[in-house]
Amino acid sequence: MMDLTTTEIIGWVSSMILVLTISKQIYKQWREESSDGVSKWLFIGQVAASIGFTVYSWLVKNWVFVVTNSLMLLNAFVGLGIVLHHSRRSAKSEARKNRTY
């Protein structure tokens, strides 16, 4: 059986990997100025799940998951904002192309 220290280290390292992986993907969308193929519903679902998991983690007093899910919630809001920004920008660009003078 693992001692608490080893268990917590595994949890915190896993948390860091997950958060950094998702953050890297969101940063890539921002840097490339494109959210092609990324649905806003992905992030809406992530927001809902992260809220639920954060509350659950708080209630069971699992601080690794409270922090992880709080950071994932933040990532979800940022990702959703980027997808919506790209969607609006794309719609404006399309409208400009379709104008008749």
pLDDT tens track for 19-56: 999 999 999 999 999 999 899 999 999 999 999 999 99
| Plot region of 3 (φ>0 → left; ψ -120 to 50 → alpha; else → beta) | beta
pLDDT tens track for 54-88: 999 999 999 999 999 999 999 999 999 999 999 88
Global confidence as pTM: 0.82
pLDDT of residue 5: 85
Structure tokens at 68: 């992880």
pLDDT tens track for 2-14: 567 898 999 999 9
pLDDT of residue 91: 77
Residue 65's closest CA among 15, 17, 16? Answer: 15
